[in-house]
Amino acid sequence: MQNDSREPPEEAPDASFADILKEFEAAERRAPSGGPRRGTVVGISGDYVLIDYGSKAEGVIPSADLLDRDGKLTVKRGDTFDVAITGRNNEGMVTLSRVAGRRPQDWDTLTRAFENKEIIAGRITATVKGGFTVDVGTRAFLPASRSGARTPAEMEQLVGQEIRCRIIKLDINDEDVVVDRRSVLEEEARQMRQSTWEEAASRLNAGDRVTGVVTRLADFGAFVELQPGVEGLIHVSEMSWTKRVKHPSEVLKEGERVEAVVLKVDLAASRLSLGLRQVLENPWDTIKDRYPSGKIVEGKITRLAKFGAFVEVEEGIEGLVHISDFTNERRIQHPNEIVKPGQVVRAIVLSADPDAKRLKLGMKQLEATPAGQFIEQLSVGDHVTGRVIQVRGDQVTVQLAEGVEGVCRVQETAAGGPASVSGGSLAERLAAAWKGGAKPTEDYHEGQIRSFTIKAIDAAGKRIELVPA
């Protein structure tokens, strides 16, 4: 017998195993999407969350896809939720995405979702002309204009993502399904803004001080963002105590950080009214302290009117010189006969009214007159002589000089005669005479020449308080 020296043929099982292995790997690489699968978090690393999605199969979801608005991870080991397979990464791991909603499984479910305008889940599988194909349990079309993506780069990133969408067209016979993602995004953004606004507004009260950034200017005011999704309005009328603001750009600019005061919170209308001027002290509150009667001020004429001229005594604070208070020399018909806009003038404060926001000034009161010169030579305690020109009740009016009057209040002498005013200092004697009423009004008659002692002097009004000498 001849020996068969041929090598034995390669065993078929080895070849079959290799083919099977290749086929298995190819099948795994295709990573079929199918429907949603229930996944369980089994591990968390810095960049990925490891998910067991059944039959001891594992995949990963980028940690960045599972963060909340504050950048915190929303899942922990042991959490379960629906996932969908999106492909493989460079390391060969199956990549997953969290299913954001219910995905219909049949045409009846699709029809109900369409009729009820329900939000459903889907996965963008590819780009096509004019948009994307989406797996929503069947193949659907997502127009690019309704995808919510604004740039080609954003559109490219959508492929493989799980989305929430709404069916806007459904034709079962032609198996034609069109979905809309943009309206869902806008609706959810509105809900989030409203929720954020209500939560923030519920903590605000009128009078609270807040800070924010000016986001935009309008003719009527400035919008200020206190936090993402929470804006308030500063109306132009609430920007200054003293300046008439015509446009908010006179006071603020976009991007500027400002401090304001909450004026009103309207939860029903989602409106927040803010004030800028309330942060500062109202200068009119202290106007009487800063501008007492008789104080001499200097300011620029800002505008003229038929009834007088406005003088700016400090930024935003104007006083009025009435047409009758310009000069003693003659009667004028219009302030432009004496002053002009831009001219710097000296005036004296006649009165200040913080409630009405009015400051009354006079110029003629500073003119050198015989009466003014006469008063400048007097002091409290001086003895003067004058002619009685009027007696009314306990008040006696006395002319001391041309244009200068004095007023003496005299009370009836108490029973037992005049009070003693001898002894003590001059001030004590004056007070005793004033209190005791040493001279009854019956002793005063119009035309009499009498002597008095000066108790007080009003240089601006050219009036003097007297007591009997």
In this prediction, residue 387 carries a pLDDT of: 93
What is the three-class DSSP state of 211? strand
Domain assignment of residue 16, yes or no: no
Instruction: Find all residues with CB under 8 Å of 379, minimum gap 6, and list them.
Output: 454, 457
3-state helix, strand, coil in the chain (%, to 5): 25, 40, 40
Looking at the structure, tell me whether residues 458 and 396 fall in a common domain: yes
Looking at the structure, tell me whether residues 362 and 382 fall in a common domain: no
Output the DSSP codes for 350-418: EEEETTTTEEEEESGGGS--HHHHHHHT--TT-EEEEEEEEEETTEEEEEEETTEEEEEE-PPPPTTSS
Domain assignment of residue 262, yes or no: yes
> How would residue 206 be classed by pLDDT, with cut points 50, 70 and 90?
confident
Looking at the structure, tell me whether residues 249 and 314 fall in a common domain: no
Domain assignment of residue 307, yes or no: yes
2 has pLDDT over 50: no
Instruction: Find all residues with CB under 8 Å of 303, minimum gap 6, and list them.
Output: 309, 310, 341
> Which pairing describes strands 271-275 and 230-235: parallel, antiparallel, or unpaired?
parallel
Looking at the structure, tell me whether residues 354 and 300 fall in a common domain: yes
Q: What is the pLDDT of residues 275-305, one digit of tens each?
A: 998 888 788 888 888 999 889 999 999 999 9
Domain assignment of residue 11, yes or no: no
| E strand map for 151-281 | 162-171, 176-180, 209-218, 221-227, 230-235, 257-266, 271-275
In this prediction, residue 102 carries a pLDDT of: 57
The one-letter amino acid at 452: F
Share of the chain above pLDDT 70, in %: 82
Looking up tokens 């003895």 gives: 383
Closest CA relative to residue 466, chosen from 410, 424, 418, 407 = 407
d(CA 223, CA 248): 10
Q: What is the pLDDT of residues 342-379, one digit of tens each?
A: 999 999 999 999 888 899 999 988 877 767 777 778 88
Looking at the structure, tell me whether residues 448 and 431 fall in a common domain: yes
Looking at the structure, tell me whether residues 455 and 382 fall in a common domain: yes
439 has pLDDT over 80: no
82 has pLDDT over 50: yes
Output the DSSP codes for 421-447: --SS-HHHHHHHHHHHT-S-GGG--TT
Instruction: Find all residues with CB under 8 Å of 82, minimum gap 6, and list them.
Output: 36, 37, 38, 39, 98, 99
Looking at the structure, tell me whether residues 275 and 287 fall in a common domain: no
Q: Which two tokens stand for residue 195?
A: 């929720």
Instruction: Find all residues with CB under 8 Å of 346, minimum gap 6, and list them.
Output: 296, 297, 298, 363, 366
Domain assignment of residue 253, yes or no: yes
Looking at the structure, tell me whether residues 434 and 374 fall in a common domain: yes
Looking at the structure, tell me whether residues 241 and 265 fall in a common domain: yes
Residue at which a domain ends, from 237, 255, 279: 279
Domain assignment of residue 6, yes or no: no
Full residue range of the structural domain in which residue 342 is found: 283-366
Looking at the structure, tell me whether residues 271 and 343 fall in a common domain: no
Total domain count, the chain? 5
Instruction: Average the pLDDT over each of 278-282, 323-327, 402-406, 420-424 and give the range with the smallest value.
Output: 420-424
Domain assignment of residue 19, yes or no: no
Domain assignment of residue 343, yes or no: yes
In this prediction, residue 419 carries a pLDDT of: 41
Residue at which a domain ends, from 218, 245, 279: 279
CATH number of the domain to which 210 belongs: 2.40.50.140
In this prediction, residue 214 carries a pLDDT of: 93
pTM above 0.95, yes or no: no
